[in-house]
Amino acid sequence: MLILNTDGTKPIYIQIAEWLETEILNDNFIQEQKVYSQYQLAEIFNINPATAAKGLTLLVEDEVLYKKRGLGMFVTEAAKAIILTKRREHTLKKLVSDLVSEAEQLDVGVEELLEMVKKESKRSKGE
């Protein structure tokens, strides 16, 4: 379950959209499946329905969800591929850029940084 960060800089509607994306990536919502309505999301997260609607609209604009008039929002066939591409091209690139900048400030070389990444990857896989 998502715990919204109301004190952070990321708007709540974006947090809602990202949570739904993660739910799709985790197969909690599959293609052609109906997702929560803005009112259900508002109740789940104790937020304004308009805020929830804004998060859903982002996903419609990204073609992750589509509307069926009178029935609700549904996951598109290409949703997972769209989310993976978006996160690789934006989120992961930003994280890598920030990591490289921080490493440079701390005088950590590329080889040392790569070794740290490899160790963390092994640790997270339980190796």
The CA distance from 75 to 82, in Å, is: 11
pLDDT at 3: 67
pLDDT in tens, 69-118: 999 999 999 999 999 999 999 889 999 999 999 999 999 999 999 999 99
Architecture of domain 12-77: Orthogonal Bundle (1.10)
The model's pTM: 0.78
- Which residue ranges make up each domain of the chain? 12-77, 80-124
The CA distance from 64 to 117, in Å, is: 31
**In the structure, how many helices (H) and strands (E) does the chain have?**
6, 2
CB-neighbour burial class of residue 72 (10 A; exposed 0-12, middle 13-18, buried 19+) = middle
Count of C-beta atoms within a 10 Å radius of residue 75: 21
* Backbone φ and ψ of 19, nearest 5°: -60, -45
Give every CB contact of residue 72 below 8 A, 6+ residues apart in sequence. Answer: 34, 35, 37
Q: Token match 């803005």: residue?
A: 38
Residue pair 94/100 in contact by the 8 Å Cβ criterion: no
pLDDT in tens, 17-56: 999 999 999 999 999 999 999 999 999 999 999 999 999 9
